[in-house]
Amino acid sequence: MEALNEIIKKCNELAFDLNFTRAKEWKKQDNSRVLVGYMPIYFPREIVHAANGLAVGILGGGDKKQIIKGDAYYQSYVCHMPRGIVELVLDNHLEDFDGFVFPSICDVIRNLSGMFQLFGKGKFVKYLDFPQNFLPEVGGEFYKSELQHILNEIKKINNIEITDESLQKSIELFNKNRKLTEEIYNIRSEFPWRITAADVYSIVRAGFVIPVEEHNEILEEVIKLLKVENGEPLDKIRVIVIGAFCEQPPLSLIKTIELAGCYIIEDDFLLGSRWIKGDMNTTKYSPLDSIVRAYLEQSTFSSSVYDVDNPKELRLLNQLKERKVDGIIFAAPSFCDPALLDHPILQKACDDNNVRYISFLYSENTGQFKVIKEQVGTFSDSIKLWA
Ligand code: SF4
């Protein structure tokens, strides 16, 4: 599968390029283009695309950036990702960016948005407050005004006013992107030996830093190649990895889980790219309203969403059944309050339903995997032997 390996290699380079070279090249081709960096988890990239911009996912420094200055900005009992992002800013990796959006995940991200204002980077910094009220006339209207605020900021830079037609076109491209990504997950669920979870990760992550049109082409090519049989099934258990929705695990950690006897069939890595379930409905609503409605009615479950009528533990158990998995791996970043506050609720649901699980913490620059490998290996063996 030389062609597939070539694509994975290219995606790997794009996904982990901390200089965001491709995005910056794209911007240079047209004076009215803007780059808008956004932090995890979810941000409706469609609005930036419609305004001739590229929304670029900034996921931290990972295990490729030594943190020196970043540590001075955060106390020791805070997760690692924001330190990596501070290091990227102070080392001038984000120089060509026009603006930054900080979706409301937790207090750490809120504070980071304040720091960006102090750094004076970009032409705007927006803390994007997602609604906690899911009524269209309350939370929906509020969310719409938040999105309009971002569009106004972009307009101040490039003088582009989006139209229904331009937004419709952007929505169609991202609908397609989500559909293709889901298809790759479905193929992997059925034939997990054809591509590793780490390779799927790189392919999806590349889409955070390149234009959606280019990413759609890559995904289509990958799907074509994955339809051909490749490799053979191994004696591994099928697992969901959950808790890794914001600070990303190092690629080697994903590889370690699979090498220790698991097929990762479902996960919440890079959750923003799969946040909306199904297409945004532009037939029933105006394009901007369809983005709002999609958030209110089609969001996946996550620790950062307080959707009291839609308990996440039930959604996790449903996912477990749909994907026919044998167990769950709770893998959360150290000091991640949203993930760690949810774990007891989710784990109780597992206990009540005889679902096997293990749990460990990581940080984006974790470099030692021996203990995790032993823990996951024992988990996998115990399910194979006694489940
Ligand atoms: S990893 Fe957790 S605590 Fe850290 S910024 Fe993300 S959600 Fe907040």
- Taking the centre of ligand 1 as the mean of its atom positions, its distance from the CA of residue 282, in whole angstroms, is 33
Q: Which residue has the least CA distance to atom 2 on ligand 1?
A: 336
- Taking the centre of ligand 1 as the mean of its atom positions, its distance from the CA of residue 176, in whole angstroms, is 29
Ligand 1 nearest-atom number relative to CA 105: 7
Q: Which residue has the least CA distance to atom 6 on ligand 1?
A: 246
Ligand 1 nearest-atom number relative to CA 106: 8
17 Cβ below 6 A of ligand 1: no
Closest CA relative to residue 360, chosen from 324, 333, 325, 322: 333
* Average pLDDT of every residue of the chain: 96
pLDDT class of 265 with cuts at 50, 70, 90: very high
109 Cβ below 6 A of ligand 1: yes
pLDDT (tens digit per residue) in 6-15: 999 999 999 9
Q: Name the percent of the chain lying above pLDDT 70.
A: 100
pTM for the structure as a whole: 0.97
Pocket test residue of 104, 106, 342 for ligand 1, highest count of atoms within 8 A of CB? 106
- Taking the centre of ligand 1 as the mean of its atom positions, its distance from the CA of residue 39, in whole angstroms, is 10
108 Cβ below 6 A of ligand 1: yes
Q: How far apart are CA 83 and CA 61, in angstroms?
A: 8
271 Cβ below 6 A of ligand 1: no
- Taking the centre of ligand 1 as the mean of its atom positions, its distance from the CA of residue 364, in whole angstroms, is 11
At 259 the pLDDT is 97
Q: How far apart are CA 337 and CA 342, in angstroms?
A: 8
pLDDT (tens digit per residue) in 216-261: 999 999 999 999 998 899 999 999 999 999 999 999 999 999 999 9
327 Cβ below 6 A of ligand 1: no
Ligand 1 nearest-atom number relative to CA 335: 3
Domains of the chain: 1-30+163-233 (1.20.1270.370), 32-158 (3.40.50.11890), 235-387 (3.40.50.11900)
Q: How far apart are CA 259 and CA 42, in angstroms?
A: 30
Q: How far apart are CA 191 and CA 247, in angstroms?
A: 28
pLDDT (tens digit per residue) in 114-167: 999 999 989 999 999 999 899 999 999 999 999 999 999 999 999 999 999 999
105 Cβ below 6 A of ligand 1: yes
Within 8 A by CB and 6+ apart from 46, the residues are: 167, 170, 171, 173, 174, 280, 291
Ligand 1 nearest-atom number relative to CA 304: 7
Contact between residue 209 and residue 23 where contact means Cβ atoms under 8 Å apart: yes
